[in-house]
Amino acid sequence: MPDLTTTFNFVLEIGGVEMASFRKCSGVESETETIEYKEATKEGKMIIRKVPGAMKWSDITLERRIDASKALWEWRKQVEDGDVDKARRDGSIVIKDSMHKEVARWNFERGWVSKWTGAELDAGANDVATEKVTITHEGLHRG
């Protein structure tokens, strides 16, 4: 019986090295802008044509439980320190099955952390402390 793919077993790889596992991920999207223009037919009827424009990709947002690792914070710090070119990295969002074997992969190009959000601290809450990062990139491809 094939293993059912779950949506909660995924990791972030940077340069082929597993950086962290995550509980939430959004923005794994690719879109082609649509350009509309008006055109008259031979009969004089006005129609609207639609052609593909530029490709664009959504920012990837990842959320995970805070632990002792500072890797995501340090990646963001490179941007804060003004070294965006050094912070740009190729990476992947990888879904794994229950046996930790790769099921699917999306590779992004020249990604950098454009936003880091720490936990909401509330002593009266029962929530797990999480951190969230937004990765801005220049391309996304299914591997």
pLDDT of residue 91: 97
Q: Give tens-digit pLDDT for 15-59.
A: 889 998 898 999 999 999 999 999 999 999 999 999 999 999 999
pTM of the model: 0.83
Question: What does the buried/exposed string (b/e) look like for 63-73 if buried means 16 or more CB atoms within 10 Å of the residue's CB?
Answer: ebeeeeeeebe
Where do the domains of the chain lie? 10-142
SS3 category, 97: coil
Q: Which residue has the higher pLDDT, 111 or 7?
A: 111
What CATH number matches the domain at 10-142, 2.60.40, 2.30.110, 1.10.8, 2.40.10? 2.30.110
